[in-house]
Copies of this chain bind each other. A is one copy, B any other.
Amino acid sequence: MSKQILETFPNQYPGREYQVDIECPEFTSLCPKTGQPDFGTIRIRYVPDQHIIELKALKFYLFSYRSQGIFYESVVNKILDDLVAASRPIRCEVIGDFTVRGGISTSVRAVYEGD
């Protein structure tokens, strides 16, 4: 499956370092070892520079993981890389809270602190 494109629009308040929090509790991908579905909540917190992340394209981007086999650590680091590449933020943090598997739940958190 081809990866959905993230989109942005111009930040209308570029002179102020404000923060945007986005929460998507409907994330699902596949376990690369078993092929079984994984489920989780993706949380994104970023400080925009010139670009605001467009929410509808983000929704489609996150849905594009639905048929992809990928580890928890890669989900979070990959989303962070893609968001940074698309929106060049001042700061960006991605957290993935994944549901219980084998009596154990896992959360991964990665941060981009700008250049």
Interface residues in chain A, defined as those with a beta carbon under 8 Å from any beta carbon in chain B: 11-13, 16, 18-26, 28, 36-37, 39, 48, 52, 55-56, 58-59, 63, 66, 73-74, 76-77, 99-111
Expressed in whole angstroms, the Cα–Cα distance for A75 and B99 within the complex equals: 23
Q: Is the interface of A mostly helix, strand, loop or mixed?
A: strand
A20 touches B102 (CB 8 A): no
Hey, which chain B residues are within 8 Å of A48, CB to CB?
A: 73
Residue in B22, B37, B110 whose beta carbon sits within 8 Å of that of A13 in the complex: B110
Closest beta carbon of chain B to A6's beta carbon, Å: 13
Expressed in whole angstroms, the Cα–Cα distance for A106 and B103 within the complex equals: 14
Expressed in whole angstroms, the Cα–Cα distance for A46 and B56 within the complex equals: 32
Output the nearest chain B residue to A104 by Cβ-Cβ distance: B24
A37 touches B63 (CB 8 A): yes
B104 touches A22 (CB 8 A): yes
Given the known interface contacts A36-B63, A37-B26, A99-B26, the answer about A18 and B77 at a Cβ–Cβ threshold of 8 Å is yes
B109 touches A24 (CB 8 A): no
